[in-house]
Amino acid sequence: MEAIEYVTKENPEFVGDCLDFVTEHINDKAPRVRWGACRIIGNVAPKFPDKVKDAVPKLLENAKDKGTVVRWSAAFALTGIVESNPKMQKELVPEFEKILEKNNKGVKNVYLKFLNTLIS
């Protein structure tokens, strides 16, 4: 996952053939795999907005993970999905508001930064 994440930062189209693999592993038992998969989804969301929306239910599970890095990575992916697919706002903004109540400052800031763009 780490290698795919690294490549997709600069070349999101690389994920084309392995997006299903990445989505399958969003809820892997290893936290490192979970956070890597989430960040890959966030990296490729602008390029594949319709394909990554299938990952949303799994990402919402990771938004409740006990690990801060997994929650932060899920926030990165979820906000990236909504930014690249505004139709998802109606579904996800209420979820973001619920998530804000249960997170530390670093994770909250990811959601707040996105929510502030809606107000601006």
pLDDT digit string, tens, across residues 13-37: 898 889 999 999 999 999 999 999 9
Mean per-residue pLDDT, 66-81: 96
pTM of the shown model: 0.93
What the chain holds in terms of domains, given with CATH numbers, is: 2-119 (1.25.10.10)
pLDDT range class, residue 104, cuts 50, 70, 90:
confident
Model confidence at 90: pLDDT above 70: yes
3 pLDDT above the threshold of 90: yes
Q: Nearest Cα to 12, choosing from 61, 57, 48?
A: 48
Q: What percentage of the chain has pLDDT greater than the value 90?
A: 79
> What tokens were used for 108?
């909250």
